[in-house]
Amino acid sequence: MDLGIFIPIGNNGWMMSQNAPQYMPSFDLNRTVAERAEAAGYDFLLSMVKLRGFGGATEFWDHNLESFTLMAGLAAVTSKIQLFASVALPTLHPAMVARMASTIDDISGGRFGINIVSGWNQSEYAQMGVWPGDWYYERRYDYATEYVTIMKELWADGASDLKGEFFQLDDCRLSPPPKGGSVPLVCAGQSDRGMQFCAEVGDYQFIIGTGDLDVVRTDAARLVAAAGETGRDVGVYVLFQITMGETDAEAEARWNHYRDGADLEAIAFMTGQASLDTSGATAEKITEMKGAFNLNIGPIVGSHATVAAKLDEVAAIEGIKGVMCVFDDYPSATAEFGAKVMPLMQSRK
> Under the rule (CB under 6 A), what is the footprint of ligand FMN?
48-50, 86, 88, 115, 117-118, 120-121, 188-191, 194, 206, 208, 239
For residue 87, the minimal CB distance to ligand FMN (Å) is 9
For residue 196, the minimal CB distance to ligand FMN (Å) is 10
Cβ within 8 Å of residue 240, ≥6 positions away? 209, 297, 298, 299, 300, 311, 314, 323, 324, 325, 326
For residue 206, the minimal CB distance to ligand FMN (Å) is 4
For residue 305, the minimal CB distance to ligand FMN (Å) is 26
Pick the closer one to ligand FMN by CB: 193 or 340: 193
- Gap between the Cα atoms of 161 and 289, Å rounded: 50
Q: Are strands 44-46 and 2-6 parallel, antiparallel or unpaired?
A: parallel
Pick the closer one to ligand FMN by CB: 49 or 97: 49
Pick the closer one to ligand FMN by CB: 121 or 278: 121
Paired with 163 in beta bridges are 168
Pick the closer one to ligand FMN by CB: 177 or 189: 189
Q: Which 8-state DSSP code applies to residue 278?
A: G
Burial class (CB in 10 A: 0-12, 13-18, 19+), 330: buried
For residue 58, the minimal CB distance to ligand FMN (Å) is 19
HSE-CB of 75 using CA atoms within 13 angstroms: 24
Pick the closer one to ligand FMN by CB: 159 or 208: 208
For residue 88, the minimal CB distance to ligand FMN (Å) is 6
Helix, strand, coil share (%) of the chain residues, nearest 5:
45, 20, 35
Q: Are strands 172-173 and 159-160 parallel, antiparallel or unpaired?
A: antiparallel
Cβ within 8 Å of residue 188, ≥6 positions away? 115, 117, 194, 205, 206
Pick the closer one to ligand FMN by CB: 22 or 121: 121
